Amino acid sequence: MNILEHYYIEDKKTLYIEFSTKEDGDDFYRILELGFEDIEYYSPTIIYEDELRSIDEIFIFDLIEQYLLDNDLPEEQKL
């Protein structure tokens, strides 16, 4: 998995993530938007809202992995 971009939108309390899988190659990417409640649920550790401004790619990777245990991959977007 390759994390292309991620940022937390404080006004909407939403984490925006662009990523691609090995199967996507260089042709596609996927977008995942998670509200704070979803982030808390799928987070591998306890996280507080003020910490979301400084999360790293390892956290994002683990969050996506946990999310995908219960959900399908988001739709592919062409690059």
For 1-46, the pLDDT digits (tens) are 999 999 999 999 999 999 999 888 888 999 999 999 999 999 989 9
pLDDT at 47: 93
pTM: 0.89
Q: By residue range, what is the domain housing residue 38?
A: 2-78
Distance CA 31, CA 76 (A): 8
Q: Which of 78, 69, 72 is nearest to 18 (CA)?
A: 78
Which pair of structure tokens corresponds to residue 57?
């790619």
pLDDT in tens, 42-79: 998 999 999 998 899 999 999 999 999 999 999 999 88
**C-beta of residue 47 within 8 angstroms of C-beta of residue 38:** no
The count of domains in the chain is 1
pLDDT at 76: 92
pLDDT at 11: 94
Would residue 33 be called left, alpha or beta, if left means φ above 0 and alpha means ψ between -120 and 50 degrees? beta
